[in-house]
Amino acid sequence: MNEDQKHDREFMDTFMLILGFLIAFTFFIFVLANVISAKQDEVIQSNPKAQELKAERLMPIATAKMAKVIDPNAPVIEVVAAPINAQNIYDGACAACHTAGIAGAPKFGDVGAWADRITQGGETLYEHAIQGYQGEAGYMPAKGGRTDLSDEEVIAAVDYMVENSQ
């Protein structure tokens, strides 16, 4: 075996050793992730509050029912909205600004920051939240920038923030 072949053989041996190590490490990470996932599932299964929160997150936004009318080939879709969950709306839309106080937003739970706003009355709060508002303290985009939210959803989120900030 000449010097080049010997060098090539050493390179291949080292390369295969590193490749084997990487494969073993990947397998180890995969097994570790499955063990952690199984432990989390055990915690969720044994905790009724965690099961309740999981079920709430998985609750459908709306359901659709199909019904046949005069023409049996033309289905009609009836959409039935699920009840509004104000905390989910807050978490998904409002928390981005109201948790950190971005753009002058009163922080969630900050009694002092909400006191003056609450004294203005619910209708004013709803109007500012739905239509948007530019004040001295900051800026509130219409519906928090989430134009996909209905007025009722925005009102529910405002009520949730007020209830938790008094």
Q: 81: closest CA among 155, 153, 160, 154?
A: 153
Q: Which of 20-24, 75-79, 82-86, 158-162 has maximum average pLDDT?
A: 20-24
Residue 62 included in any domain: no
Q: What is the pTM of this model?
A: 0.52
Q: Rounded to the nearest 5°, which phi and psi values hold at 143?
A: 55, 30
Give helix 151-163 / helix 122-131 axis angle, nearest 10°. Answer: 130
pLDDT tens-digit series, residues 24-43? 999 999 999 999 988 887 87
Where in the sequence is the domain holding 47, given as residue range(s)?
3-56
For the chain, the domain total comes to 2
* Farthest-apart Cα atoms in the chain, separation: 91
22-26, 122-126, 135-139: lowest mean pLDDT where?
135-139
Residue 61 included in any domain: no
Residue 151 included in any domain: yes
pLDDT of 81 strictly over 70? no
- Here the CATH number for the domain that contains residue 122 is 1.10.760.10
82 neighbors 55 (Cβ within 8 angstroms): no
139 neighbors 103 (Cβ within 8 angstroms): yes
Q: Going by C-beta distance under 8 Å and a sequence separation of 6 or more, which residues neighbour residue 54?
A: 44
- pLDDT, residue 50, reads 79
Residue 80 included in any domain: no
pLDDT of 62 strictly over 70? no
